[in-house]
């Protein structure tokens, strides 16, 4: 599947039938038993229902259309054509290999060409893709490609820095390690000075207004 195509774009005939809530809770009970505990004991009695509800939040991105999020734009920008950056967007996703959290931040920038989009929409696009089973490389490309395809700006840049619990809580057990991925399109790929400006701006982590 093309990484720019969200699962919701599949034809209904191609999409596997979604299990019921009861099916999901039964599966969670099975996992509890497999782990060696009793799903009927007091502390775990309501756990299958709680986990199913939490999955609805963890993976709500499957119910969202990232391209639709960006469709409302604004053209009254008084000729503004400089970089627009949304930095340090909180990112919460889940590794598609082990289904454990990926926690980090995303930095998103674009160079507008006659129109801009509300900044909250950029954060929503990040969430729409992050709230799915993911690998960070694909997530980075999906965000950048969608912004580029819908807004058609002069350039798009996305950098993600994240920790992966599949590495820190299992396997090699290496904590404090951040994975960094980037996707540069248009001017951010072709113009070294534009790319340097973006990377310098996201490297400055001092919060605006933190000094008097």
Of 111, 108, 132, which Cα lies nearest the Cα of 119? 108
Q: How many CB atoms lie within 10 A of CB 51?
A: 17
| Other residues' Cβ atoms within 10 Å of the Cβ of residue 149 | 14
- Partners of residue 73 on adjacent β-strands: 117
Q: Where are the alpha helices (DSSP H) in the chain?
A: 21-35, 47-58, 66-69, 119-130, 136-151, 165-168, 187-190, 192-203
Give Cα 40 to chain centroid, integer Å: 35
Cα 33 versus chain centre, distance: 32
Tokens 């340090």 locate to 88
- What are the beta bridge partners of residue 86? 108
Looking at the annotation, which residues are catalytic?
Answer: 95-98, 136, 164, 166
Q: How far is CA 7 from the centre of its chain?
A: 14
Q: CA-CA distance, 179 to 76, in Å (whole number)?
A: 38
For the four alpha carbons of 181, 184, 190 and 191, in that order, the dihedral sign comes to negative
């Amino acid at each position: 599947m093309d990484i720019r195509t969200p699962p919701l774009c599949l034809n209904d005939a191609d999409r596997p039938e979604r299990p019921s809530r009861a099916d999901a809770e039964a599966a969670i009970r099975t996992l509890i038993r497999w782990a060696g505990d009793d799903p009927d004991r007091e502390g775990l009695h309501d756990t299958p229902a709680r986990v199913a509800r939490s999955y609805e939040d963890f993976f709500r991105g499957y119910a969202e259309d990232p391209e639709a999020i960006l469709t409302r734009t604004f053209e009254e920008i008084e000729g503004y054509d400089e970089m627009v950056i949304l930095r340090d967007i909180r990112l919460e996703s889940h590794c598609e290999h082990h289904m454990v959290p990926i926690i980090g931040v995303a930095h998103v920038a674009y160079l507008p060409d006659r129109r801009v989009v509300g900044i909250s929409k950029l954060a929503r696009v990040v969430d729409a893709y992050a709230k799915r089973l993911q690998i960070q490389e694909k997530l980075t490309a999906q965000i950048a490609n969608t912004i580029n395809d819908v807004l058609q700006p002069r350039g798009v840049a996305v950098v993600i820095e994240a920790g992966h619990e599949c590495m820190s809580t299992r396997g090699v057990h290496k904590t404090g390690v951040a994975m960094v991925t980037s996707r540069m399109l248009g001017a951010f790929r072709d113009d070294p000075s534009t790319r340097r400006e973006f990377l310098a701006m996201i490297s400055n982590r001092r919060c605006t207004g933190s000094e008097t």
